[in-house]
Copies of this chain bind each other. A is one copy, B any other.
């Protein structure tokens, strides 16, 4: 393990480290002590049937959900629901290459095993059941890789998911996304400080982390985001300053091995693994009332790809979010973003569900 001050309560507010014990992994191997970082808002009712699960995206944590998505003015309302955000394995708050220590010392850094979306969902289900006594969720919601987990939940545990809202993500990763993610990974691997994953500090790989952020600049937003100079409204003076003062620092504090663990997981996400490769059969299993919510200007989870999957989910609806922020519209930058999300999630939560 190595020290990295970013992955602390100082930067992420309060959260609990909850161990679910040993987690055996789909790709083989195991995490001896699977610690998951969990944040909750609101109260679990006596029937334990008012829980909402939030899953996290690549590079993300519960923090953005707390700051942007959850609150009494939002559909994800802690006055009504018990909202639980579980940080994904590898994100650096939950168990991850950079923080693997103690019983996990043998899987630290470059030795961290391959983790799949299914592993996360199995771990989350166990945590919710064993720690909170939750057997059924009012809603599972997540963006991007969080959408992958949301789909996996709905396919793997249909009886436990009443409603599902995958935002800006797919159930089966696309080949284009695979290549995009590979281009991101290569920025780390090509950094002379990478040292086959056994660097001493994420600072050793800062050049790779910066180039990684520059590819996000190209793919993460939309052509129109840059053309309309949206960064002006965010009080930056130039696109260059937006990159050096926002996008680079966002990523350079992070750990490359952690990001790579998530990247591999993203690349290999596929609910059809539950049904021998048959995507229609997998999505056909879903009984949750599902709103599929792509962002119209998303360059790598375009509505076309999300619609194709939505059409395989029984009783589902396509709810397109309009945002020239593109994929990173997920950050809630545009004042028009959250009202759309709240509208859709509010309607979904108000809909009868099994």
Contact = CB atoms under 8 A, between A and B. Distances in A.
A179 B226 contact: yes
Interface stretch (A27-35, A54-62, A186-194): A186-194
Contacts of A207: 190
B224 A304 contact: yes
A282 to B, nearest CB: 17
Contact of A239 (B175, B183, B190, B229): B175
A288 to B, nearest CB: 25
A219 interface: yes
B186 A214 contact: yes
Interface string A188-221: 0011100000000000000110010011011101
A214 B183 CA distance: 6
Contacts of A215: 183, 215
B183 A211 contact: yes
A22 interface: no
A222 B305 CA distance: 12
A289 to B, nearest CB: 27
Contacts of A226: 174-176, 179
B183 A218 contact: yes
Range of interface residues on chain A?
35 or more
Given A175-B239, A190-B207, A191-B190, A182 B214 contact: yes
Contacts of A304: 223-224
Q: Taking chain A's interface residues, is the majority helix, strand, or loop, or is none over half, making it mixed?
A: helix
Contacts of A225: 176
A158 interface: no
Contact of A176 (B190, B227, B300): B227
A180 interface: yes
A46 to B, nearest CB: 47
A281 interface: no
Contacts of A299: 299
A255 B182 CA distance: 24
A42 interface: no
Given A183-B211, A207-B190, A218-B183, A302 B223 contact: yes
A174 B211 contact: no
A248 to B, nearest CB: 13
B218 A176 contact: yes
Interface in A217-267: 217-219, 221-227, 229, 239, 243
Interface of A: 174-176, 178-180, 182-183, 186, 190-192, 207-208, 211, 214-215, 217-219, 221-227, 229, 239, 243, 299-300, 302, 304-305
Given A175-B226, A179-B214, A218-B219, 20 more contacts: A174-B227, A175-B227, A175-B229, A176-B221, A176-B226, A179-B217, A179-B226, A182-B214, A183-B211, A183-B214, A190-B190, A190-B191, A190-B207, A190-B208, A190-B211, A219-B219, A223-B300, A223-B302, A223-B304, A223-B305
